[in-house]
Structure 1
Amino acid sequence: MTRPVRIIVATGLEAIDSQAIYHALAERLGPDDPDTICLVSPRDPYVCVGYHQAVERELDVEAAAARGLPITRRMVGGGAVYLDAGQLFVQWIMHPDHVPLSLEARYAAYIAPLVTTLRAFGIDARHRPVNDIHVADRKIGGTGAARIAGAEVLVGSFIRTIDTDALAAVLRVDSVKLRDKLAATMRTYVTSMERELGSAPSEDAIVERYLPILAEALGRPLELGTLSEDERRHVAAVRERLVDPAWVNDGGGRRVLGVHIREGADVLVGRTKAPSGLVRILLVVAEGHVIDATVEGDFTVWPMEAPREIADALIGQPADPAALARVAEEAGDRTLDDAPGLAGVHLREAVEDAFSLETHQS
């Protein structure tokens, strides 16, 4: 007999608990524990950066503080997001042998019931590979994946309403003019169920539509459940970790620059847009060699520590643009086992960009 998937419905959670719950369940998943899918929403808004991002280069921290928004970092890739009660998060915490082997196939399995549910509401949604959901040329959902402890995790949301102005206000941009342009662009190219339907369906209505579609997609029975006391305690412990400044500022899968930027050292920044997202490489160069490096961005990769290994491969190399670009490409091809939309060629492009733009500071 197929074991049921446990369903946890918990709306109006304390802000960070809406992230802590799936991290905690993933960390505690044992061989006899059920697969669990959480449908949760936060009571209050907050900002969350991806596993491979640097807070100081993605967010206007002062603007977030002025709005009273806590900042956290998740153990899932992707970009910085503003999250609030207008979104119903869908979080899968699964045993590895209960989801497809490849990351791309996992995304497809996760996204299919989301798309079907949106269509059931009359929204002409479609899966846009690698891991987005679109209505025509407007994005109505992004998803992420990670391996946390022994669990495969997939996350995304039903965007009931969206505050694009709040998101634009907390992202780091170079000027007020660019911030206004960013907000206008988001209003054009990001949408919500409210915008598509004229009004936002309730969380209960979405859950009611989604669950039978989910059961059919999985081919497994669902069983409503609750967190055990042990799980609740672990959620509380994870909550504290997710807001610890050391984790928020210096955690994640990237290598944190650790050298003192001394006299005569240059910091070169290169960027490229891969199908999976932005790739940014920072190179600290002194006396003709790379003395420190980091690889970051809003991508999703497996293994999750691959960006750190790529950065390590660059350190100590001569600061020759062509040779360093080859090292980056080879390191990427060697370490990126499962990274749909990201390959060694994109690392090479980012290194080439760093030298061509010469975006550096002494």
Structure 2
Amino acid sequence: MADAVTTSGSPDGVRLIDAGRTSPLRAQALYHGIADAMAPGDAPVMVLAEPDAPFVSVGAHQDVSREVDIQACARSNMAVIRRATGGPALTLSPNTMMVHFVLPRGRPEAGGSAVVLYGRFTEPLVRAWQAFGVPVERCAWGGIELARYRIGGVQAGVVGKAVVVGGSLVTDFDADTVVRQASLPSDQIRAQLRDLIRERLAQAGRPVDRAAVRTALMAGVGDTLGWTLQDSTLREDEQAAIERRETQMAQMRHIFAGGQRMANAGMRATGGLKLVDLVRRSAGGLVRLRLLERDGVIEDIEITGELTSLPADGLDKLAAGLVGLRRDAPDLAVRIHDRMGRFGLELPGITAAEIALALKPVTVPAGRHPLDVLFGTNPTS
């Protein structure tokens, strides 16, 4: 995913922009604007910011109308802001430190596959946790796990000539906030992880506050990336780019951008065209496929969801490349894989075979109920 251009020079001298507490819109726009203004020879930038109110950060490829409870957010006066990195919607609170790494695409640290990129930038966050005795581990696709349950992670994206990788840390590792922000399967699991975090923090016997967590994070960055962080301020061009991003991110058409191309597809489903909505859960997140087909042939399709796409326009290219294919083609997975390779598309945690399986029509034998086929149950005797 990195450009072929490489840059010379030491990795030392990485800029640190610590914005402290700021509005959700500003916190989200900061790293986007810095990426917009970044030139190929610029030094990497690490950006820290804490929202002064809770908000929902929506992944770049999500359909907000389907995946976020907009009415509940409105009742709670909670902003919804779309980011340029992938992944699921995240609810971030005022005691959450947003951590973003912004670096030119030609930097060595920006190179490699998505797996390599995730591992490289998840590790400093993992080490910050571990510095306080909490035994988190790095897991697949940028995840951070505790006792085998995902409690955090990073998301990646390409913005202009920059690669952006971002995550978050609770500023005092407050157990209630950590488990509330994590997608955990039950109250019992939430209680268990809450108790484990509190127990390990108490055993470590170290003060846990914003300054201590920041120091641990800086040490993790130095140890794993070899960076020497230098406090910095925004350049004029970065400030102007951030302000432009604030204007863009506040607009409804930006917030609801995902899924809009096929929003009125039902009105086109006439004269033999059928509208089909498909959903599949994969290791890389929830994938939504909305398509128009005629006699099993895809005539139009849009791909949205919690997924990450590198590069960002790769999903649109893949969707265009699926037009004309039969959903029941025996070599559909091969064809999708070929197109992903042609476009240089990485979908971390999502394979061509999974997309093909999601697209495959369900054939219902005589006497079988469709749910029997989907869930593999035996026909009623």
Place the TM-score, normalised by the shorter chain, in its bin.
Answer: 0.7 to 0.9
Per-residue deviation at 1:333?
4.9
Question: Aligned with 2:150: secondary structure?
Answer: strand
Q: Note the alpha carbon deviations across 1:97-146, whole angstroms, 9 max, x for none.
A: 23142221111111112111111111001101121011112222121111
Per-residue deviation at 1:330?
4.4
Which is further off, 271-280 or 326-335?
326-335
Per-residue deviation at 1:182?
6.5
1:59 aligned partner, one-letter code: V
1:238 aligns with 2:238: no
The separation in 2 between residues aligned to 1:40 and 1:197, in whole angstroms, is: 24
The separation in 2 between residues aligned to 1:344 and 1:231, in whole angstroms, is: 38
The separation in 2 between residues aligned to 1:31 and 1:282, in whole angstroms, is: 37
The separation in 2 between residues aligned to 1:189 and 1:352, in whole angstroms, is: 40
Question: Which residue of 144, 148, 165 maps to 1:137?
Answer: 148
Given the two structures, how large is their TM-score scaled by the length of structure 2? 0.79
Which position in structure 2 is the counterpart of 1:294?
302
Q: Call closer, same or farther: CA 1:200–1:193 in 2, change over 3 Å.
A: farther
Which position in structure 2 is the counterpart of 1:177?
none
Per-residue deviation at 1:196?
5.8
The separation in 2 between residues aligned to 1:167 and 1:212, in whole angstroms, is: 25
Which is further off, 67-76 or 333-342?
333-342
Which position in structure 1 is the counterpart of 2:160?
149
Which position in structure 2 is the counterpart of 1:53?
62
1:342 aligns with 2:350: yes
Give 5+ residue unaligned stretches, structure 1. 172-180
Confirm or deny: 8 A CA contact 2:258 2:304 kept in the other structure.
no
Counterpart mapping for 1:268-287 below 5 A: 268-286=276-294
2:306 aligned partner, one-letter code: D
The separation in 1 between residues aligned to 2:188 and 2:246, in whole angstroms, is: 33
1:207 aligns with 2:214: yes
Confirm or deny: 8 A CA contact 1:125 1:133 kept in the other structure.
yes
Question: Which residue of 317, 323, 339 maps to 1:309?
Answer: 317
Q: Call closer, same or farther: CA 1:325–1:269 in 2, change over 3 Å.
A: farther
Which position in structure 2 is the counterpart of 1:174?
none
The separation in 1 between residues aligned to 2:118 and 2:232, in whole angstroms, is: 25
The separation in 2 between residues aligned to 1:52 and 1:185, in whole angstroms, is: 32
2:282 aligned partner, one-letter code: A
Per-residue deviation at 1:327?
4.8
Per-residue deviation at 1:95?
2.1
Q: Call closer, same or farther: CA 1:112–1:308 in 2, change over 3 Å.
A: same
The separation in 2 between residues aligned to 1:53 and 1:332, in whole angstroms, is: 20
1:108 aligns with 2:115: no
Percent of aligned positions that are identical: 25
The separation in 2 between residues aligned to 1:240 and 1:62, in whole angstroms, is: 23
Which is further off, 322-331 or 148-157?
322-331
Given the two structures, how large is their TM-score scaled by the length of structure 1? 0.83
- Find the structure with the greater CA-based Rg: 2
Query: How many residue pairs align between the two structures?
Result: 346
Which is further off, 197-206 or 98-107?
197-206
Question: Which residue of 91, 111, 115 maps to 2:100?
Answer: 91
Q: Call closer, same or farther: CA 1:355–1:166 in 2, change over 3 Å.
A: farther
Confirm or deny: 8 A CA contact 1:193 1:201 kept in the other structure.
no
Per-residue deviation at 1:278?
1.9
Q: CA RMSD in A?
A: 3.2
Counterpart mapping for 1:1-362 below 5 A: 2=10, 3-96=12-105, 97-99=107-109, 100-159=111-170, 160-161=173-174, 184=187, 187=190, 197=201, 201-251=208-258, 256-257=262-263, 259=265, 260-263=267-270, 265-286=273-294, 289-318=297-326, 320=328, 327-335=335-343, 337-352=345-360
The separation in 2 between residues aligned to 1:166 and 1:126, in whole angstroms, is: 19
Confirm or deny: 8 A CA contact 2:33 2:245 kept in the other structure.
yes
Confirm or deny: 8 A CA contact 2:49 2:97 kept in the other structure.
yes
Question: Aligned with 2:24: secondary structure?
Answer: coil
Which position in structure 2 is the counterpart of 1:175?
none
The separation in 1 between residues aligned to 2:192 and 2:227, in whole angstroms, is: 36
Confirm or deny: 8 A CA contact 2:47 2:100 kept in the other structure.
yes
Confirm or deny: 8 A CA contact 1:26 1:151 kept in the other structure.
yes
Per-residue deviation at 1:165?
9.6
The separation in 1 between residues aligned to 2:296 and 2:348, in whole angstroms, is: 34
Confirm or deny: 8 A CA contact 1:54 1:250 kept in the other structure.
yes
Which is further off, 34-43 or 226-235?
226-235
Question: Aligned with 2:356: secondary structure?
Answer: helix
Per-residue deviation at 1:166?
7.5
Which is further off, 326-335 or 209-218?
326-335
Per-residue deviation at 1:79?
0.4
The separation in 2 between residues aligned to 1:186 and 1:242, in whole angstroms, is: 35
Confirm or deny: 8 A CA contact 2:56 2:79 kept in the other structure.
yes
Confirm or deny: 8 A CA contact 1:313 1:327 kept in the other structure.
no
The separation in 2 between residues aligned to 1:292 and 1:341, in whole angstroms, is: 24
